[in-house]
Amino acid sequence: MANTKSAEKRHRQSLKRRARNVTVRGEVKTAVKAAREALATKGGNPTDALKGASKALNKAASKGVLHKRTASRRISRLAKAASKAARAQA
């Protein structure tokens, strides 16, 4: 356990940040999963799900939960999968 007041404060801050980061990561996972499921189904329109996922990823990157290049890479891969699915349907 922390021995000094400053260490106790840093511990409290880290717990708050962790809780916030876990929430944001969960939202990102949900959005990406929804986008992947929309891409997998033939009838659905994946563009809305793709927009939602990219928005969630960008927001996580801006908050520092994800690295900006990680978010960019994931968005790129989703867009690539969406393009491939669109070509397969046509």
Question: pLDDT of 48-89, one tens digit each?
Answer: 889 999 999 999 999 999 999 999 999 999 999 999 888 887
What pLDDT is recorded for position 44? 65
* pLDDT band for position 43 (cuts 50, 70, 90): low
CA 40, CA 84: separation in Å to the nearest integer? 11
* pLDDT band for position 41 (cuts 50, 70, 90): confident
Across residues 14-40, what is the average pLDDT? Answer: 95
The third-level CATH classification (topology) of the domain covering 5-89 is Methane Monooxygenase Hydroxylase; Chain G, domain 1 (1.20.58)
> pTM for this one?
0.84
CA 8, CA 1: separation in Å to the nearest integer? 8
Per the listing, tokens 């659905």 go with 44
Domain ranges of the chain: 5-89
